[in-house]
């Protein structure tokens, strides 16, 4: 599928399998979030146990796609144009996600969220307006009780780091030769292994708060996969004949759904496992997605649909999941009943994401593109 003509004559075609993998990863995140309430804080019991690594997969995929889409176009594109394109692509749904979080905030009251009941509307509005800018708030301004940088829409923490990656890409990373970029990838990878293996919980969960430990995890989860994705794109020749969609999809699902490695007495084993996934398995999956080609029209449509809903689903689902958490907590809902309600909820969030895409995101982006870029922006 060739992207629509953008403000630049050398816009790249979409890599359909990578688009589809992004959609599959987003669905896995929603599934994990939906049933996370039933693990009661013990991540050894988490259903879709490594679903949170989808964020790290997103970062690696983003590094790959940014290098693919932009790195040979800087001669005809200014940094200002680059940032305008990224803002138009990402920010409308960030605003929608924050608005949904504010609209449904008071419907999420429960023991799980101790600060909601005492939060005045004025504080909610202030946090929402700050959230519209994606500027993170400190723990002292938290209104939910989890010390999140974006308490109205938790997953927005990764978009904050995505913006940081785009800034770093534009000013520094794109200029680096492969050898130096490879050295940075190696150093970031060593840090990744250290952080994951020495983590008290033996995992890479975190990054959503401005607390120092959380920021350490957040930058660890961003820097290695993003730079590794860039390096992979520079070093891999894209083929277009191999049928890799199903094997790449199955491998991604198996990795994200895989159970915890080790137990509470040797959590470092799980940290090692997650490090190996990020440094070995995810690059293989992205490589398979990049070299593949979709030949069946129905599968092509499925891949397009998965790619289309991936970002809207990721950035809009959480306010609805938090209401589900409150229902489970307030009514002491058992897992069996939670599954019966949770599965339709997952389907509903996919439907909401589709509506958000068609009725809000695409029209807004089209208008912004016409207003600020003068030509249609290619959807990434």
Token pair of 237 as six digits = 């020749």
Q: Which residues pair with 292 in a beta bridge?
A: 242
pLDDT averaged over the chain? Answer: 93
Token pair of 123 as six digits = 């504080």
The predicted-structure confidence for 206-233, as pLDDT tens digits, reads as follows 999 999 999 999 999 999 999 999 999 9
Q: Answer yes or no: is pLDDT of 10 > 50.
A: no
The residue count of the chain comes to 380
Cα angle 297, 300, 304; round to 5: 140
The predicted-structure confidence for 157-179, as pLDDT tens digits, reads as follows 999 999 999 999 999 999 999 99
Token pair of 153 as six digits = 């829409």
What does the pLDDT read at residue 374? 65
Domain residue limits, the chain: 16-372
Which whole number is the average pLDDT over 256-284? 97
Which whole number is the average pLDDT over 302-318? 98
The three state secondary structure string of the chain is CCCCCCCCCCCCCCCHHHHHHHHHHHHHHHHHHHHHHHHCCCHHHCCCCCHHHHHHHHHHHHHHHHHHHHCCCCCCCCHHHHHHHHHHHHHHHHHHHHHHHHHCHHHHCECCECCCCCCCHHHHHHHHHHHHHCCCCCHHHCCCCCCCCCCCCCCHHHHHHHHHHHHHHHHCHHHCCHHHHHHHHHHHHHHHHHHHHHCCCCCCCCCCCCCHHHHHHHHHHHHHHHHHHHHHHHHCCCCCCECCHHHHHHHHHHHHHCCCCCCCCCCHHHHHHHHHHHHHHHHHHHHHHHHECCCCHHHHHHHHHHHHHHHHHHHHCHHHHHHHHHHHHHHCCCHHHHHHHHHHHHHHHHHHHHHHHHHHHHHHHHHHHHHHCCCCCCCC
The predicted-structure confidence for 333-372, as pLDDT tens digits, reads as follows 999 999 999 999 999 999 999 999 999 999 999 999 999 9
């Amino acid at each position: 599928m060739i992207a629509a003509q953008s403000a630049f004559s050398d816009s790249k075609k979409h890599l359909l399998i990578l688009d589809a993998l992004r959609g599959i990863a987003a669905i896995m995140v929603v599934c994990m979030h939906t049933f996370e309430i039933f693990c009661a804080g013990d991540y050894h019991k988490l259903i879709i146990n490594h679903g949170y690594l989808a964020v790290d997969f997103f970062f690696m995929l983003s590094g790959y796609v940014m290098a693919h889409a932009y790195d040979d176009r800087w001669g005809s594109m200014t940094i200002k144009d680059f940032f305008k394109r990224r803002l138009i692509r990402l920010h409308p749904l960030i605003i929608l996600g924050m608005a949904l979080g504010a609209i449904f905030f008071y419907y999420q009251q429960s023991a799980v969220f101790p600060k909601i009941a005492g939060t005045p509307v004025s504080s909610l509005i202030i946090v929402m307006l700050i959230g519209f800018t994606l500027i993170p708030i400190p723990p002292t301004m938290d209104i939910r009780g989890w010390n999140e940088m974006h308490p109205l829409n938790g997953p927005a923490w990764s978009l904050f780091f995505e913006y940081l990656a785009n800034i770093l890409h534009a000013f520094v990373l794109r200029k680096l030769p492969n050898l130096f970029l490879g050295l940075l990838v190696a150093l970031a990878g060593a840090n990744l292994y250290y952080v994951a293996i020495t983590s008290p919980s033996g995992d890479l969960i975190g990054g959503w708060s401005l607390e120092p430990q959380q920021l350490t995890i957040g930058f660890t989860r961003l820097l290695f996969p993003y730079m590794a994705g860039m390096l992979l794109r520079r070093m891999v020749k894209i083929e277009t004949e191999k049928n890799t969609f199903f094997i790449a999809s199955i491998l991604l699902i198996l990795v994200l759904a895989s159970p915890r490695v080790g137990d509470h007495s040797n959590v470092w084993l799980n940290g090692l496992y997650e490090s190996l996934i990020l440094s070995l398995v995810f690059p293989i999956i992205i490589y398979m997605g990049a070299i593949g080609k979709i030949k069946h029209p129905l599968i092509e449509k499925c891949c397009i649909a998965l790619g289309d809903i991936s970002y809207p689903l990721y950035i809009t689902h959480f306010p609805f999941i938090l209401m589900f958490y409150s229902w489970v907590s307030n009514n002491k809902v058992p897992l069996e009943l939670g599954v019966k309600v949770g599965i339709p909820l997952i389907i509903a969030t996919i439907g909401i994401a589709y509506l958000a895409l068609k009725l809000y995101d695409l029209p807004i982006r089209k208008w912004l593109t016409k207003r600020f870029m003068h030509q249609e922006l290619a959807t990434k």
